[in-house]
Copies of this chain bind each other. A is one copy, B any other.
Amino acid sequence: MTESLGVGLVGYAFMGAAHSQAWRTAPHAFDLPLRPVLAALCGRDQAAAEAAARRYGFAAVETDWHALLDRDDVQLIDVCTPGDSHAEISVAALEAGKHVLCEKPLANTVAEAEAMAAAAGRAQARGVRSMVGFNYRRVPALALARDLIAGGRVGEIRHVRASYLQDWLADPAFPLTWRLQKEHAGSGALGDLGAHVVDLAQYLTGQLIAGVSGVAATFVPERPVPGGEGRTGPVTVDDAVAFTARLETGALATFEATRFASGRKNALRIEVNGSRGSLAFDLERLNELEFCDTAGFPGTTGFPGTTADPLTQGFRRILVTEPGHPYLSAWWPPGHVLGWEHTFTHEVRDLVTAIAQGTDPEPSFADGLQVQHVLDAVAASAAQDSRWTPV
């Protein structure tokens, strides 16, 4: 009988729902070495937490997250709260010997993220694992993109072009929620959306960002307070950021994150241009990867017969649903597409496997801290006339 892994979830909104779905589904899709058990859900509002627990399938409810750390039936804490509590909960959980999956961005400040990475390092020595939830690494198309780049299929990298465009703030009447308040969210589009594209750019290329130059804007500085009877309050985070960057090897990169791109609902787009080819991805077409192979498979030369025949060159639309594609053998026949929520199921698979094997899952808290350093450099540059800021 497979050993169980009790999960204690903190936070039960959007991310809590998505994580729960993954914890429930992963063992039915994959052969997991540990059997996840939805042990307890934690939320401060008892009634709401109980309703969520019923909906998501959790066996118990706590209203104080500290209580989760005392439960013997919980071996892993899944942190789905706003960013301002990530550090406190995660550090305490790791010190209590619980594995931790923490949503991104890792923290609201570099200082918090450093504390978390340090705690993760100490915990690791005791066999306690931690992972930050950059779920888009587990989009099969992006995992394939990384494999192709690592295999030399795009050659030496020249350009990365990344943007994450949403539009839910385009309407000035949208209310002033916690995501628009610096004390809760840390930053706006930068941390929420920019964190994803920074992580992906580094993950896909296998290179770190060496320096940045950024600009930021808050287009709508005041918004209605929810339940405020017409009162408004100040938006204290960025509505949008844009920044240029250089990777370690000198490639140029451009980044943009915004909640004001009317008509773009969840357009995380990333393109990588190299000396041998290019890759392009759009999250709104999650099952597709575009690949243009301009120089052929490394080690082959000339054409025809190779992938580089110039007369038939072009961006090919790979439907990433073949059994040989990352994560796909667990799912459906070719052409039967996956959804956004599958990224979390894949995350759970990899995390549970790492825990069982006693290895460190990726991305680590250290990876999350490094992304935080990049975001911090962007904010610093934006505050200082876009001055080039090394990471």
Interface check A321, CB cutoff 8 A: yes
Interface centre among A18, A144, A295, A317 (most CB of B within 10 A): A317
How far apart sit A256 and B273, CA to CA, in the bound complex (Å)? 13
Which 5 interchain pairs have the tightest Cβ spacing? A266-B335, A265-B335, A263-B292, A339-B339, A316-B316
Rounded to whole Å, the gap between the CB of A99 and the closest CB of chain B is 23
How far apart sit A278 and B214, CA to CA, in the bound complex (Å)? 24
A336 is contacted by which of B254, B317, B340, B386 (Cβ under 8 Å)? B340
A144: chain B residues at CB < 8 Å are: 311
A96: chain B residues at CB < 8 Å are: none
Contact present for A14 and B332 (CB under 8 Å): yes
Interface check A243, CB cutoff 8 A: yes
Contact present for B306 and A312 (CB under 8 Å): no
Rounded to whole Å, the gap between the CB of A326 and the closest CB of chain B is 10
Q: Could you name 30 residue pairs across A and B whose Cβ atoms are closer than 8 Å? A: A21-B25, A155-B262, A158-B240, A158-B261, A159-B260, A161-B163, A215-B252, A215-B388, A242-B244, A242-B252, A252-B258, A254-B256, A262-B277, A262-B292, A262-B294, A263-B313, A264-B273, A264-B278, A266-B336, A291-B314, A292-B316, A296-B305, A297-B304, A307-B307, A310-B322, A311-B322, A314-B317, A337-B339, A381-B386, A387-B388
A350: chain B residues at CB < 8 Å are: none
How far apart sit A332 and B318, CA to CA, in the bound complex (Å)? 25
How far apart sit A265 and B292, CA to CA, in the bound complex (Å)? 12
Interface check A181, CB cutoff 8 A: no
A263: chain B residues at CB < 8 Å are: 273, 277-278, 292, 294, 313-315
Contact present for A300 and B293 (CB under 8 Å): no
Within 8 A of B (CB), among A270-292: 273-278, 283-287, 291-292
Contact present for B262 and A275 (CB under 8 Å): yes
Interface centre among A158, A167, A283, A310 (most CB of B within 10 A): A158
**Would you give the 0/1 interface string for A197-237, flagging 1 where the beta carbon is closer than 8 Å to chain B?**
00000000000000001110101000000000000000000
Residues of A within 8 A of B (CB): 14, 18, 20-21, 24-25, 28-29, 55-57, 144, 148, 153-155, 158-159, 161, 163, 165-168, 170, 172, 213-215, 217, 219, 240, 242-244, 246, 250, 252-254, 256, 258, 260-267, 273-278, 283-287, 291-297, 299-300, 304-307, 309-319, 321-322, 324-325, 332-342, 381, 385-388
Contact present for B262 and A276 (CB under 8 Å): yes
Given contacts A25-B21, A284-B319, whether A215 and B240 have CB atoms under 8 Å apart is no
Given contacts A296-B305, A305-B307, A312-B316, whether A261 and B278 have CB atoms under 8 Å apart is yes
Rounded to whole Å, the gap between the CB of A58 and the closest CB of chain B is 11
A14: chain B residues at CB < 8 Å are: 332-333
A258: chain B residues at CB < 8 Å are: 158-159, 252, 273
A339: chain B residues at CB < 8 Å are: 336-339, 341-342
